[in-house]
A and B are shown apart, each in its own frame.
Chain A
Amino acid sequence: MKPADMNTTEKTLPGIDALNTGYGDFEMSFDPNKPDEVQKAKETITDMLKRGYAIFIRQGEETFRVRKFDPDRNVYIIGSTPAEEVPIAETRAVAIGRSAGG
Chain B
Amino acid sequence: MGNEATPDIGNKGLLTLSEASRHLAKQRLGQNDWSGLPIPVPGLSLVLEPRFKHKCLEDFRWKECYDETGVRHEIPDEPMQEATPFRWINSWWNAKYQANISVLHNQEGRARFAFSPVDRLSLTLRTLEAAAVWPFEAEQKALQKLATLITRNVFELYSLSGHFTEESKRSRLTYLFRKGKPTIAIHQDEGGGYPLCALCLHPIGYYGDTWAGVMCPTDEVIAHLLMMRGSEEKFWANANQHPVDHPNAGV
For A21, what are the chain B residues with a Cβ–Cβ distance below 8 Å?
A: 21, 24-25, 35-39, 133, 138, 204, 214-216
> What 5 A-B pairs have minimum CB-CB distances, sorted nearest first?
A22-B25, A24-B141, A102-B200, A21-B36, A63-B229
Question: In the assembled complex, how far is the CB of residue A41 from the closest CB belonging to chain B, in whole angstroms?
Answer: 13
Does B47 sit within 8 A of A, measured CB to CB? yes
When C-beta atoms are compared, the residue in chain B nearest to A50 turns out to be: B32
Does B155 sit within 8 A of A, measured CB to CB? yes
A contact residues vs B (CB 8 Å cutoff): 1-7, 17-26, 44, 47-48, 51-54, 56, 62-65, 94-102
Question: CB < 8 Å: which of A5, A19, A51, A65 contacts B219?
Answer: A19
Does B90 sit within 8 A of A, measured CB to CB? no
A24 to B201, Cβ gap below 8 A? no
For B119, what are the chain A residues with a Cβ–Cβ distance below 8 Å?
A: none
Question: In the assembled complex, how far is the CB of residue A7 from the closest CB belonging to chain B, in whole angstroms?
Answer: 5
For A5, what are the chain B residues with a Cβ–Cβ distance below 8 Å?
A: 151-152
A100 to B202, Cβ gap below 8 A? yes
Given contacts A100-B206, A102-B202, A23 and B239 within 8 Å (CB-CB): no
Q: How far is the CA of A21 from the CA of B144 in the complex (A)?
A: 15
A47 to B203, Cβ gap below 8 A? no
Q: How far is the CA of A102 from the CA of B229 in the complex (A)?
A: 20
Does B186 sit within 8 A of A, measured CB to CB? no
When C-beta atoms are compared, the residue in chain B nearest to A4 turns out to be: B152
Contacts of B10-68 to chain A: CB distance below 8 A:
21-26, 29, 32, 34-39, 47-49, 51-53
